[in-house]
Structure 1
Amino acid sequence: MKPTYLYKYVALRSSDESIQRRLTDLLVSSRLWFASPSSFNDPLDCKPGFSFKNSTETELNRLNIMRLKYLLEKKVDLSFVVHYHMRVEGRDLTANDEIFQSVLLMMQQEAREQLGVLCLSQRENDPVMFYHYGDKHRGLCLQFRTEHYFTQTRCVHYSDEYPVLNFFQLVKSRIRTQKCI
């Protein structure tokens, strides 16, 4: 069951001009800021591992084409691109390959920078959250009604294990989601 309210802990004052502007936007213009996961204090946040198990030859070829396009768009050193392409064509490239992983990490980092995440809490009086995100108890805890605006929210489930997602299942579900919007 979805909660009736969600809460956001914020600093009331900040020497960081962008944080102050976001608070003003929120309070005056009702605009929320969706932060890039690359700005989070946890470097592993929103950075799952990817699995390519049970991938078809067509899917792997499509992935390699995506990577080559990415490398060319980013104007990566041409010798690296050629070396990568030769390894792909020779089928000498596996998910454990160093080049394969480095290109995947570059793509993953860029994707993290393009994402926006809104962090909310189900608890309105959490002293730890208030300390970390509410300027050491000097900030605000804002309450949002969920019925109209937060229908797509999802709970975060923390785990001791690093998440591993099947790359192609994720891409397929993302395409289906985009078609529904």
Structure 2
Amino acid sequence: MNRSLILYKYRSFGEYADKIILNSELYFASHTSFNDPFDCNLEFEEDGDFNKHCETLNKTEKSLLGEKTIEDYKKDLKRNLIIEKSKVGILSMSTNNKNILMWSHYADNHKGLCFGFKNDFYKESGITMSKVIYSEDDRYELIPYLGCEIEDIKRMFTLKSRYWEYEEEFRLLDLKNSYGLKRFNNKYLKEILFGCKADETNIKKIIQLCQLNGFKHVIFKKARIVPGKFELDFDELDKNKYL
């Protein structure tokens, strides 16, 4: 992967954006909070392989089922998979800092901001980074109940409908330590971009917070509309004017 790649997190101004700077933390969410009902919810395959597995259980394994039926066993297995999946922490990022829809949907209608991180900013935390794959059509391969390989697990979290392709998404996955706030090293935050409709008061606050909390190296830019095009570009700001 290109080490110079920058990953972007779109945000609105406010308490949560401030805390990214104040605490050097980003929030890894559970997929249960996502707005796409298909996201991380690929269906499991039908019962063929599962039933074959149950037929091969030895006497000891069958005795452990107790009063449970094979159907109960199947439900328990699926329930456990769903529970474990919900614990995985996911940080969604984008490689595109000029996407008009992203600024509209995730940065308060272009009044918000966007944090740009070097792509390996969690490399020392055992966190996996994967590019999101978008389906070529409206179909996907079902996830097996049993014998689930690492690629199957990764696919559960990184395969999305082609309708989301405009997001150009990468995902950071914490498969071991669950969701929640996770610290990052300050040096990996490279730039902060402000929306074309961002308020000067909010811009000043963020720049000053960075100066006071170990982010003096960060570059600041403000989006502007390109005349004659449905396109954004950025102008670098002189932070000294805000200090």
- TM interval, short-chain normalised: 0.5 to 0.7
Aligned in 2, Cα 1:106/1:127: closer, same or farther, shift over 3 Å?
same
Alignment partner, residue 57 of structure 1:
53
Shift of 1:171: 5.3
Query: Within 2, Cα distance between the matches of 1:54 and 1:133?
Result: 42
Partners of 2:12 and 2:111 within 8 A in 1 = yes
The one-letter amino acid paired with 2:107 is G
Aligned in 2, Cα 1:172/1:118: closer, same or farther, shift over 3 Å?
closer
The one-letter amino acid paired with 1:40 is F
In the alignment, structure 1 segments of 5+ residues that lack a partner are: 14-19, 70-80, 94-98
1:134 is matched with which residue: 92, 95, 107? 107
Query: Within 2, Cα distance between the matches of 1:59 and 1:139?
Result: 57
Is residue 134 of structure 2 the alignment partner of residue 158 of structure 1?
Answer: yes
Shift of 1:24: 3.1
CA deviation digits over 1:125-176, x for unaligned, max 9?
Answer: 11111111111111111100124435831111122224422333435677xx
Shift of 1:121: 0.1
Is residue 19 of structure 2 the alignment partner of residue 25 of structure 1?
Answer: yes
Identity of aligned residues (%): 27
In the alignment, structure 2 segments of 5+ residues that lack a partner are: 154-174, 177-243
Query: Within 2, Cα distance between the matches of 1:61 and 1:42?
Result: 38
Deviant stretches of 4+, over 6 Å: none
Query: Within 1, Cα distance between the matches of 2:5 and 2:150?
Result: 32
Higher helix share: 1
Query: Within 2, Cα distance between the matches of 1:59 and 1:25?
Result: 54
Structure 2 length normalisation: TM-score?
0.47
2:90 is matched with which residue: 94, 117, 122? 117
Query: Within 1, Cα distance between the matches of 2:109 and 2:116?
Result: 19
Structure of larger gyration radius: 2
Query: Within 2, Cα distance between the matches of 1:4 and 1:59?
Result: 50
Partners of 2:30 and 2:86 within 8 A in 1 = yes
Query: Within 1, Cα distance between the matches of 2:56 and 2:41?
Result: 21
Alignment partner, residue 76 of structure 1:
none
Higher strand share: 2
Shift of 1:113: 2.7
Query: Within 2, Cα distance between the matches of 1:104 and 1:169?
Result: 12
Query: Within 1, Cα distance between the matches of 2:55 and 2:87?
Result: 24
Aligned in 2, Cα 1:118/1:61: closer, same or farther, shift over 3 Å?
farther
Structure 1 length normalisation: TM-score?
0.61
Query: Within 2, Cα distance between the matches of 1:170 and 1:48?
Result: 13
